[in-house]
Amino acid sequence: MGVYVITALCILLFFVIISCIKIVPQAQEFVIERLGSYYESWTTGIHFLVPFIDRVAKKISIKEQVVDFKPQPVITKDNVTMQIDTVVFFQVTDAKQFAYGVEKPMAAIENLTATTLRNIIGELELDATLTSRDFINTK
């Protein structure tokens, strides 16, 4: 009877240890929480979680990402309303800030893009907006 209990405990311990070994793939970062609060960010490689204390809170890609947002209505300097389609290229450089800095990071990126685009287009007349794509892209 005692041999079965020891064998079961050894098997259980083996699976707990194996489940605590984490491999972070290339171009990703894992945000680790210890007892519910931020502990650290793991970069590429093999890492070990402390069982029942640490957990992987977020897996964040640090590759450059492309997001296409729906067309935004904007008003030019000469009061002409036009629809502007936006494509945003971004790359996460700080996994902690991406995970905890804003509640919904993609919505924040969309709102910031729309606001900036409205400010830039609002300073230009219709003819200038149609011919100055490079100028708008640099801002």
pLDDT at 22 over 80: yes
**What pLDDT is attached to residue 84?**
87
pLDDT, averaged across the chain: 91
Tell me the CA distances in angstroms from 133 to 24, 65, 103, 111, one per residue in order: 39, 21, 32, 20
pLDDT in tens, 34-57: 999 999 999 999 999 999 999 999
Task: Please state the rounded mean pLDDT for residues 68-89.
Answer: 89
> Is residue 60 pLDDT above 90, yes or no?
yes
Which tokens go with 137?
Answer: 């892209």
Q: Tell me the pLDDT band of 135, cut-offs 50, 70 and 90.
A: confident
- Does the pLDDT value for residue 120 go beyond 80? yes
Q: What is the C-alpha to C-alpha distance for residues 67 and 23, in angstroms, rounded to an integer? A: 28
Place of tokens 């209990």: 5
Q: By 3-state DSSP, what share of the chain in percent is helix, strand and coil, each rounded to 5?
A: 40, 35, 25
Which helix or strand (DSSP H or E) is residue 15 part of?
A: helix 2-20
Q: Which fold has domain 64-138?
A: Tetrahydropterin Synthase; Chain A (3.30.479)
pLDDT for 46: 97
**Ranges of CATH 3.30.479.30 domains, the chain:** 64-138
Q: What percent of the chain has pLDDT over 70?
A: 100
Q: pLDDT band for position 99 (50/70/90)?
A: very high
The mean pLDDT of 50-66, rounded to a whole number, is 95
Say what the pLDDT of residue 15 is.
Answer: 93
Relative to beta strand 28-34, strand 54-61 is antiparallel
Cα–Cα distance measured from residue 34 to residue 119, given in angstroms and rounded to the nearest whole number: 42
